[in-house]
Amino acid sequence: MLDRLLSHDRPGHPALAVLLVVIVLALAAAPFLFPGAKALSVAAKMLVFILLVASFDLLLGYTGIVSFAHTMFFGIGAYGVAVASTRLGEGWVSVGLGLAAALVISLVLSLVIGLFSLRVKAIFYAMITLAVAAAFQTLASQLSDLTGGEDGLTFKNPEVLSPSFEVSFAGLDLDGKVFTYYLLFVAVAALFLVLLRIVNSPFGRVLLAIRENDFRAEAIGYRTVVYRTLSNVISALFATLAGALLALWLRYVGPDTTLSFEIMLDILLIVVIGGMGTMYGAVIGSALFVLAQNYLQDLLKLGGGALEGVPVLSVLVSPDRWLLWLGLLFVLSVYYFPTGVVGRLRLMAVAKTPGPAASTVKGRP
């Protein structure tokens, strides 16, 4: 049953399976295991990034397309919910209409970008998507009457998702924030399984063929432009859904929360850390990166207190140097895990398996 649920895409290594189980269970019980607003916000951000990074990996890891417009679709989903909730008032109807409008806009934009730009190769396509994303961010900042400009939009969720909503269940006091979190958890889990099914379907096999050699895929009868465009559209729609979920969690949307190029860099870092072309890499990479991003400074604060008065070391371990240590951790992860954590563990599992596949892996330089 579980094998079918995972579309027969097994982790491939016991350590990877354990990591995935621990992350899923921790996220499932986060409101009760990790009390506090910060811990719950970190878990919610982790969920959103799992879906966002998995949707981007469909483009980069499975189709071989480098796009910098992913945050644009992410922002469209967030702004769709925010604008509708602001103009039409709080309620599920507003959320549904805003999400539907955002999906339609993302569908049209991704289709246009795909049809007109995917014939352009490599870096040229990446530059086109970067220009489109920058233009959209500027537009969102300037249309203050609609988007709130640089200040963004603050809106109210449906009553059951409001922090003021409280209910007692089985001796537990639950509020709207907990319900919102579990909405994110269920939605991300379901959408992740859909993405897992897509990449393990015949359609996903064609995308892998295009990534490896698009000329050969074209020669055997596949219209690569059609498949690349469909991949672009599907990826954009899932990014839009991730943006809508983030908006529901924050109850605020602004250019910096969804459209910032820093978010695009974070997505790229997570894909590299987790492993390109592996949906599980989005889970592992997001967990590691979000935890480091939010708690590395706290760890350095403890280390700085312990090394207070020690020359040089006390300066290096200062909480203000957390970005330096985050960069160092990224360099080390790329050096020791060039194919990402998931890719490395799967190669180790294959290397331990007797047969031609193992000898091929062991014979690699």
Show pLDDT as tens, one digit a residue, over the chain (365 residues). Answer: 778 888 888 888 889 999 999 999 999 999 988 878 889 999 999 999 999 999 999 999 998 888 898 999 999 999 999 999 999 888 899 999 999 999 999 999 999 888 776 666 667 788 888 888 999 999 988 888 888 888 889 999 998 888 888 887 666 778 889 999 999 999 999 999 999 999 999 999 999 998 888 888 888 888 888 898 899 999 999 999 999 999 999 999 998 899 988 999 999 999 999 999 889 999 999 999 999 888 888 887 777 666 676 666 767 777 777 788 888 888 888 888 888 889 888 888 877 766 554 443 433 33
111 token code pair: 């289709």
HEC assignment per residue over the chain: CHHHHCCCCCCCCHHHHHHHHHHHHHHHCHHHHCCCHHHHHHHHHHHHHHHHHHHHHHHHHHHCCCCCCHHHHHHHHHHHHHHHHHHHCCCHHHHHHHHHHHHHHHHHHHHHHHHHHCCCCHHHHHHHHHHHHHHHHHHHHHCHHHHCHHHCEECCCCHHHCCCCEEEECCEEEEHHHHHHHHHHHHHHHHHHHHHHHHCCHHHHHHHHHHHCHHHHHHCCCCHHHHHHHHHHHHHHHHHHHHHHHHHHHCEECHHHHCCHHHHHHHHHHHHHHCCCCHHHHHHHHHHHHHHHHHHHHHHHHHHHHCCCCCCHHHHCCHHHHHHHHHHHHHHHHHHCCCHHHHHHHHHHHHCCCCHHHHHHHCCC
Structure tokens of 119? 């014939």
Residue with tokens 């700085």: 304
CB 180 within 8 A of CB 161: yes
Cα–Cα distance for residue pair 217/220, rounded to 1 Å: 5
Q: What's the pLDDT at 154? A: 92
Cα separation, 141 vs 214, in Å, equals: 38
Q: How far is CA 226 from the centre of its chain?
A: 25
| CA separation for the pair 24, 193 (Å, rounded) | 13
Residue 122: the pLDDT is: 67
Total residues belonging to the chain: 365
pLDDT of residue 362: 37
pLDDT (0 to 100) of residue 300: 79
What pLDDT does residue 364 have? 37
Which structure tokens are listed for 295? 């708690």
- State the Cα–Cα distance between residues 282 and 266, nearest whole angstrom: 12
* pLDDT given at position 270: 93
User: Looking at residue 170, what is its pLDDT?
Assistant: 65
Residue 117: its pLDDT value, please?
Answer: 66
- Please name each of the domains of the chain with its CATH number: 2-362 (1.10.3470)
Chain center to CA of 254: 18
d(CA 75, CA 154): 15
